[in-house]
Chain A
Amino acid sequence: MIWFIVRRFLGLILTLWAVFTVSFLLMHAVPGGPYSSERNLPKEIEANFKEKYELNKPIYVQYWHKLRDILHGDLGPAQRLLDFNVNQVIAQGLPVSACLGILALTFAISLGLSAGIVSALYRGSPADIVLMSLATVGIALPSFVIAGLSIMLFVFMIPIFPAAGWGTLRQLALPAICLGSVYAAEIARITRTGMLDALSQDFVRTARAKGLSQVAVALRHALPTALLPVVSFLGPAVAGILTGSVVVERIFAIPGLGWHFVQAALQRDLAVSMGLVLLYTLLLYLMNFLVDLSYGILDPRVELK
């Protein structure tokens, strides 16, 4: 177990370094830079500006300096949001994205699991067909369509939710549902498949033979096994959902990290881009690690080496 954690930790360092290197090279290969503007700087001053951000240095010097700063935990000043440094951008945006993410996940997991279990238990029934059709629609519809429809429905036709913004739980309800619905649909489908698979296995037949109720068999015996694929799906999903959703954040004006991700890349804010890419890598890696750990708990057959 300890060895497993140590190995994963080393893997994390290696992954972060590789992601850093590739992102660094890509960012310096694209045209434009943080100095690009519609009001152009005189050449002399542009040179000063490049000097300040070391953009005029040979690329290996820039690489080394950037790596050194990041190792010290300093992601540097943002190059477009001039009043902030990258650490502040993340500190302000991550909690917001995380809040929205937690709500969306709660919604997705509770809805997805229940729908999946019901579908599996009543396989072939009208309930199964309706739920699975909904799930297919949920996966197929992009979130901006769901967002647009839900705004028309719940903001203008039946005005129960505010149109956008951040500050109350009511403002978060619609974006959480829009963000969560895709995940709910995925979870429902995966749960259903997992449950069907588990329900046909010997240990479930044994449990039934012992005379346990249908509910006990489903929830206590079949569900833990059926959850394994759901958990592996949730790992990367959580990382993605915590770092924010571009579309949902934009449509609902939620000040999370998702839109920063896009804006930083478009505006050539190299520092913010790098910070967010590294943060995403870190979260993704951690979540996958947690998934592996939870396998050990959920499935007695798995041993972590």
Chain B
Amino acid sequence: MTARTWFLALVLVAGLAAVTWAVRRGQLSPADFTFGNESEVASVDPALTTGIPEARIVYALFEGLCRPRADNNLPEPGVAEKWEISEDGRIYTFHLRKDALWSNGEPVTAHDFYYSLRRLLDPLTFSRYSYQAWYIVNAKKYTLGGGELSPGDLVEVELPLAAGATNTMRGPLLRGKLVRSELSEEEKKDEDTAGGNRVYVVAIDGKERKFQAASKDDPLKSGCERARQVLLDFHEVGIRVVDDRTLEMRLANRTPYFLDLTAFHALSPVNQKCLEKYGAPAWTQPENIVTNGAFRLVTRRLRDRIRLERSENYWDREHVRLNIVDALSIDDRTTALNLYMTGMIDWVTVPPAEVVRVFMKEQPKRNDFNPAPQLTTYYFLLNTTRPPLDDKRVRQALSLATDREEITRVATGAGEVPALSLVPSSMPHYQIQPCAPFNPEAAKKLLAEAGYPGGQGFPKLEILYNTDQQHQAIAELLRKQWQRNLGITASLRSEEWGSFQDSQQQLKYLVARRAWVGDYVDPNTYLDMFVSGGENNCTGFANPQYDKLIADAAKEPNKVKRIEILQSAERLLMDEMPIIPIYYYVSRNVVRPRVRGFYNNLQDLHPLNAIWIDPNVDKQAAVPNEFMEPVP
């Protein structure tokens, strides 16, 4: 053999050896419980996550004052072993359990919650869920910072970070009283830079000083000192550490679902020492992270898996029966199902729609598939700022001309329920306020009244959806129904996710699809979206009467009356119709029969700490698991 052949052979052997080595490194021992967790999680930082895959991991790693029960997701004692609620429902005093520990062995204290809640509310944390804590007195004002402050407010001025400080630390704080803030009309126009141009005049120890929250490269106006940000003094916010194990929260209004919120994943505590030592995002790495939940983070491989291990420091460790859990990141629904069918994973969260239809028809009935109502509504947004949709009659006509039954029959197929309201019909203690059902005759009449008899002269509509087969099928049906029932034409426009979000927010659409997953089990999570200028309103709908109803409901101490007010708000919304509800979701989990402690519930939330594997499942005497129990 020549030198060249030898060389080639050597390269080949070295290459294959490298591959074998690299693949070996990826090998892990099998887990007790493995599930497909959809997309790669954006973060494991409780304050930064919004998605459902993220929530599954955060709930396993962290625990709030309360935790959601496995069966019905109602709050049960978590880090707080008990609590008192004042007569007027506005002061909550939580008593933390002694044996609640961080994964590093230190106790979880009231100071940890104080730190974490402040961090969640800090505008520089960019939490999308800070609004879940805005029920606390002054919390919203703290988050919104600069623009919301008025002269006379006590403020805290955060100075720039000291050299060498990690990015999770805060700069030195100065406390004082706001004398005035200055921002010219010209500067106000550009929302992106207004914050940095505002000058705060603050009286500190009887001396007036000027601050500007400009970033480090930007020039300062004359006489100004540089600040990182100027916020309401956090002492003004209704969170107080009574002692190491007692935390008090004062709410602006009686909020019947506040305990649910303390169990919400974004309000979980994080470890200050860990954050400040490593900085973000390094603190979230498995070798650094300190957690307080039932599981700890062992391995994190991007787009492969997150491995969780039972925490030896968790107070309720005796009831945690899984030792190792793998959450696989699998983007493709078919791939997840393939893995399930070949026995590699135990739980598929969302199988492909076409398979769901086959599963539904199977006889005898499958013992691992049991769709159940879920607190999510699929609807279409109507841009109320643009003609012809600025006319209420047109919006109502479109809704009347929509045959929801056909959509759920043809395009979805897992037993989704046609929706005539924004709030899902499965919402407990609430009576939904439906809009008028499918009625093509009434629709035609209304459209004629609006000046378009038989659809004549009606401008072409455009239906926007994010690229997805099922959304396309639904939009296509809608287009046909409107054509058939109203004689109007519509075209479809598909955008990928990023542009789609942007188009909605900037009202660059006429009709757009949307779905909303309830953040908590209360109608308010749906209804308060549509207040004037709400961040998630996205329809241009602005109605002072509606705003008043939502505000009144928040203030109403009487439970029954509060629900009545919310119902009248929904009635108003379903009359004005800035949205067209289409259907309520059902969950579509596929769960192996040997998995126990997995329950169908409204929020489709399945805490890992309750799940266990039944070793007797293959035997004759095996009981069907809780998941397969009939759905009410």
Contact = CB atoms under 8 A, between A and B. Distances in A.
A224 to B, nearest CB: 10
A45 B143 contact: yes
Contacts of A42: 143-144, 535
A255 B16 CA distance: 19
A48 B124 contact: yes
Contact of B145 (A30, A44, A260): A44
A151 B341 CA distance: 12
Contacts of B363: none
B178 to A, nearest CB: 16
Interface string A164-189: 11111100100000000000000000
Interface in B278-322: 281, 284-285, 300-304
Q: Which one of A55, A159, A253 has the highest number of Cβ atoms from chain B below 10 Å of its Cβ? A: A253
A255 B215 contact: no
A240 interface: no
Nearest to A100: B19
Contacts of A36: 497-498, 501-502, 505
A162 B341 CA distance: 11
Interface in B485-520: 496-503, 505
Nearest to A159: B342
Contact of A167 (B23, B43, B215, B502): B23
B23 A169 contact: yes
B61 to A, nearest CB: 12
A216 B332 CA distance: 49
B534 to A, nearest CB: 9
Contacts of A167: 23, 26-28
In this complex, the interface size class of chain B, counting residues with CB under 8 Å from chain A, is: 35 or more
Contacts of B123: 44-45, 48
Interface stretch (A10-18, A83-91, A128-136, A205-213): A83-91
B150 interface: no
Contacts of A31: 498-499, 502-503
Contact of A33 (B39, B126, B128, B498): B498
B17 to A, nearest CB: 10
A221 interface: no
Interface string A40-53: 11111101111110
B496 to A, nearest CB: 5
A32 B501 contact: yes
A39 B192 contact: no
B313 to A, nearest CB: 22
A172 B302 CA distance: 18
A293 interface: no
A230 to B, nearest CB: 14
Nearest to B467: A266
A33 B144 CA distance: 21
Interface in A235-258: 250-253, 255-256
A37 interface: yes
Contacts of B496: 266
B19 A255 contact: no
B195 interface: yes
A281 interface: no
A221 B341 CA distance: 52
Contacts of B300: 83
A155 B341 CA distance: 10
A20 interface: no
Contacts of A266: 496-498
Contact of B194 (A47, A96, A163, A168): A47
Nearest to B48: A82
Nearest to A30: B499
A30 B499 CA distance: 8
A164 B330 contact: yes
Contacts of A89: 302
Nearest to B146: A44
Nearest to B26: A167
B497 A172 contact: no
Nearest to A39: B128
B528 interface: no
Contacts of B18: 99, 102
A268 interface: yes
Contacts of B20: 169
Interface string A49-70: 1111001100000000000000
Contacts of A30: 498-499
A193 B532 CA distance: 70
Nearest to B128: A39
Contacts of B144: 42, 44-45
Given A48-B123, A151-B338, A165 B497 contact: no
Contacts of A260: 303
Given A36-B505, A255-B302, A99 B23 contact: yes
A39 B498 contact: no
B503 A106 contact: no
Contacts of B128: 37, 39-41
Contacts of B22: 95-96, 98-99
Contacts of B335: 163-164, 250-253
Contacts of A163: 335, 338-339, 341-342, 344
Contacts of B40: 81, 263
A50 B342 contact: no
Nearest to A80: B42
A43 B191 contact: yes
B68 interface: no
Interface in B177-235: 191-196, 215
Interface string B43-68: 11100101000000000000000000
A285 interface: no
Nearest to A176: B19
B242 interface: no
A102 B498 contact: no
B12 interface: yes
B195 A51 contact: yes
Contacts of A48: 123-124, 126, 195
Contacts of A164: 330, 335, 338-339, 344
Contacts of B15: 102, 106
A155 B40 CA distance: 25
B147 interface: yes
A277 to B, nearest CB: 17
B110 interface: no
A89 B144 CA distance: 33
Contacts of A81: 40, 42-43, 302
A292 B501 CA distance: 46
B536 interface: yes
Interface in B84-105: none
A232 interface: no
A162 B145 CA distance: 54
A213 to B, nearest CB: 17
Nearest to B516: A38
B194 to A, nearest CB: 7
A91 to B, nearest CB: 10
Nearest to A298: B4
B331 interface: yes
Contacts of A85: 281
Nearest to A152: B338
B332 A253 contact: yes
A96 B40 CA distance: 16
B33 interface: no
A296 to B, nearest CB: 14
A259 interface: yes
Give the 10 A-B residue pairs with the shortest CB-CB distance, closest first: A32-B498, A36-B501, A255-B304, A56-B192, A163-B338, A32-B502, A40-B535, A82-B43, A255-B303, A268-B498
27 contacts: A32-B498, A32-B502, A47-B191, A51-B215, A55-B192, A77-B281, A83-B281, A89-B302, A92-B301, A93-B303, A96-B26, A96-B304, A163-B339, A163-B341, A164-B338, A165-B328, A168-B27, A250-B332, A250-B335, A251-B334, A251-B335, A253-B304, A253-B330, A253-B332, A255-B301, A259-B303, A263-B40
Given A96-B304, A169-B20, 6 more contacts: A31-B503, A51-B195, A83-B300, A85-B281, A92-B301, A164-B344
